[in-house]
A and B are shown apart, each in its own frame.
Chain A
Amino acid sequence: MTPPSSDFVTALPEIGLLTVACVVLLVEAYSQSRMVAYLLTLTGLLLTSALVVVSGAGVPMLAFNGLYIDDPMGEVLKLLTCLSAIAAVIYSRQFLDDRKMLSGDYLGLLLFAVLGMLVMISASHFLSLYLGLELLSLSLYAMVAMERDSARATEAAMKYFVLGALASGLLLYGMSLIYGLTGSLELSKIAESLHYGVKSEVVLVFGLVFIVAGLGFKLGAAPFHMWAPDVYHGAPAAVTLFIGTAPKLAAFAFAMRLLVDGLQPAHGDWQQMLAVMAVASLAIGNIAAIAQTNIKRMLAYSTISHMGFLLLGMMTGSLAGYSAAMFYSVSYVLMSLGGFGMVTYLSRVGVEAENLDDFKGLNARHPWLAAIMAMVMMSMAGLPPFVGFYAKLSVLQALIGAGWISLAVVAVLFSLIGAFYYLRVVRIMYFDAPAVEDTTPTHASDAAMLLSANGLAILVLGILPQSLMTLCALSVQMSLR
């Protein structure tokens, strides 16, 4: 059946973004100024977020013969994805310009990556989930390798590519087993036929193992985390900033679609797997981060531990758990935009401010930047009154509500260990003598203003978390069937 034209209206954000991405690619051929592509990228992302808001229906709506779903959770996540991509582009403008990477091809790939995320967020079919994931991953591999003269970036891209391909293979294998068992690729139909029981529980669990392993790779959760530190460390700071932020929202949506929309009847089986992955991520992430001297690597390990928290929220299988996980992913993206944004902002021509030593005595040079970074770090550590505290608190509440008290205790213990290395950054900034060479950024007031807003948002949302929490809870509730 030919899709009705209303389907194309439903998918307007994706269509708009695709158009803008193609225009950004073309515009470089006809224009000498690099600012055109940059401004066009920002306009396109703004336009997409506007389209998301306008085309939102408020109730779950299927389109394209069940390949596409438009629901409130998806709309909120899409909007936030676009906004965080805008912030990432603004933070990285000066960095990219210094390294001659601010070109149509880089920005075009970035827009395609965002398109992949949007597709993942609103997928209701194994096919569209997988295609969205591949679109995102392929663009990211190329973006990591973009700094061609850097051997470190090339190595990181190679590792990312090989491990990412392996993860995609695992995921596809799991999907094909589930397809063989249920006879459908559509998530709601899979849930239905699982609900009525399948011929072999063993095959279901077998396929589930592969799906969860692939998911773990993409989230960067232990024991499938090995790529994350190398890629975060090796990639140019601007790319790390992008990889570490918006895709986490898409990964959360991906996990929700796959495990909750599609495989909810097998909840008992995947719950165990997520619990093991969550505890392993918390342990490895928090303990390995202590030993790092490179802040990008440290933040990579911190990402692993945050993904552990996110998985803890998801594994409870309750509405409270899902909305806590969503709140966690949103606040994590906000914090990590601040953290990686600061690393990108403090970098200068030829040098990346990526070592902890580069932050020594930042307070003496830039008290305001140091204050923002301190807020980000304390929020990541989970100290009140910052948003990270409420993110952790709501996950723990959901865990205790579902009766997983021992897991909650473990999570708190590892967060305490984690607080050490976050606070070490604060100590370095405030109490250590400045490094000899000055890393004064003399540029980009737009990025500085946005960084301030970002830091303040972490504080304000920490004091008044209720609106964002309600938004997450409502959108998840309205989207679950």
Chain B
Amino acid sequence: MDFPSIVFYFLSAILLLSGLRVVTAKNPVHAALALVLAFFTAAGIWILLEAEFLAITLVLVYVGAVMVLFIFVVMMLDINIEEMRKGFWSHLPLAGLVAGLMVAEMVMVLGGDRFGLTAPAAKAADYSNTKELGLLLYTDYVYAFELAAVILLVAIVAAIALTLRRKHSRKIVDPGWQSRQTATGRIRMVNMKPQHPEVKEDDA
């Protein structure tokens, strides 16, 4: 076995184990951390495939931003994981059987030799994957790129539309209304007789 294969199997083993930990860990923070490890090893496998840009993006975006947010949320919300796990063991035999069957079938169907692929020749050391991707994104795939941007816009609009609540109790002042006010409108002098408040039973 050559060196890249050893690295591949090493990383894959860690990836699988950490993936397993994500679903089996009792503590949600541990599960999130295991997911970080899974992303990290996946990035390692991509580096092995000479997809440096994707690997770096995975680490920067997912590990650096998304997972940190995720861990924040997990820590802030007191999630009762035992509640969510109810019925895990009773459903396990059937679910395990179905999953096992599917894995066996997929292994039978999807061998590496089925696709007739050959490994591409290695690129020169000064070859920039990132530059190539950038060139493709803004020329050949500009339509898809713009569509992805529109999808992100929709995500923003949907998130705001679904969470922005205009509560009546909000103490917000319209600046335009505020600056239109005059001295006469601001205060009104009234002449009232002094009154004695009625004594209520609750106050007594």
Partner-B contacts on A (CB < 8 A): 1-3, 11, 18, 22, 25, 63-65, 67-68, 105-106, 108-109, 112, 115, 119, 125, 127-128, 131-132, 134-135, 138-139, 141-142, 145-146, 148, 177, 180-181, 199-200, 202-203, 206
Contacts and interface: CB of A to CB of B under 8 A. Distances in A.
Nearest to A67: B143
A151 to B, nearest CB: 14
B150 interface: yes
Contacts of A127: 141, 144
B137 to A, nearest CB: 12
Interface residues of B, number: 26
Contacts of B154: 109, 112, 135, 138-139, 142
Contacts of A63: 143
B121 interface: no
A373 to B, nearest CB: 33
17 contacts: A3-B143, A18-B150, A105-B161, A109-B158, A109-B161, A112-B157, A119-B147, A128-B143, A128-B147, A131-B144, A132-B147, A138-B155, A142-B157, A148-B165, A180-B115, A181-B115, A206-B109
Contacts of B143: 3, 11, 63-65, 67-68, 128
B139 interface: yes
B150 A64 contact: no
A206 B107 CA distance: 12
A177 B110 CA distance: 9
Given A131-B148, A203-B110, A3 B157 contact: no
B49 interface: no
B117 A180 contact: yes
Interface string B115-136: 1110000000000000000000
B151 interface: yes
B172 interface: no
Nearest to A204: B114
Contact of A142 (B144, B153, B161): B161
B140 interface: yes
Given A65-B140, A206-B109, A131 B151 contact: yes
A449 B106 CA distance: 56
Contacts of A125: 144
A22 B161 CA distance: 15
Given A65-B139, A148-B165, 4 more contacts: A131-B144, A139-B154, A181-B114, A181-B115
Nearest to A18: B150
A66 to B, nearest CB: 9
B104 interface: no
Contacts, number: 90
A125 B115 CA distance: 20
B73 interface: no
B142 A134 contact: no
What is the interface of chain B mostly: helix, strand, loop, or mixed?
Answer: helix
Closest 8 CB pairs of A and B: A142-B158, A64-B143, A105-B161, A199-B116, A200-B114, A131-B147, A65-B140, A67-B143
A428 to B, nearest CB: 37
A197 to B, nearest CB: 11
A119 B143 CA distance: 10
Contacts of A181: 114-115
Contacts of B153: 22, 112
B176 to A, nearest CB: 12
A203 B142 contact: no
A215 B83 CA distance: 34
B180 to A, nearest CB: 15
B94 interface: no
A206 B144 CA distance: 27
B150 A115 contact: yes
Contact of A146 (B106, B109, B142, B162): B162
B160 interface: yes
A106 B161 contact: yes
A135 B115 CA distance: 31
Contacts of B155: 138
A298 B63 CA distance: 47
Contact of A206 (B110, B139, B160, B165): B110
A11 B147 CA distance: 12
Contacts of B150: 18, 112, 115, 135
Nearest to A63: B143
A317 B161 CA distance: 43
Interface string B183-203: 000000000000000000000
A148 B151 contact: no
B1 to A, nearest CB: 24
A112 B160 CA distance: 15
Contact of B141 (A67, A109, A202): A67
A21 to B, nearest CB: 9
Nearest to B139: A2
Interface string B56-85: 000000000000000000000000000000
A353 B165 CA distance: 28
B162 A145 contact: yes
Contacts of B157: 25, 105, 108-109, 112, 142
Interface in B1-28: none
A480 to B, nearest CB: 23
Contacts of A11: 143
Contacts of A115: 150
Contacts of A199: 114-116
Contacts of A2: 139, 142
B139 to A, nearest CB: 5
Contacts of A132: 147
B158 A138 contact: yes
A280 to B, nearest CB: 20
Looking at A64, A109, A141, the one whose CB has the most chain B CB atoms below 10 A away is: A64
A181 B112 CA distance: 11
B139 A3 contact: yes
Interface string B94-108: 000000000000100
Contacts of B116: 199-200
Given A142-B162, A203-B115, A135 B147 contact: yes
A3 B148 CA distance: 18
A12 to B, nearest CB: 13
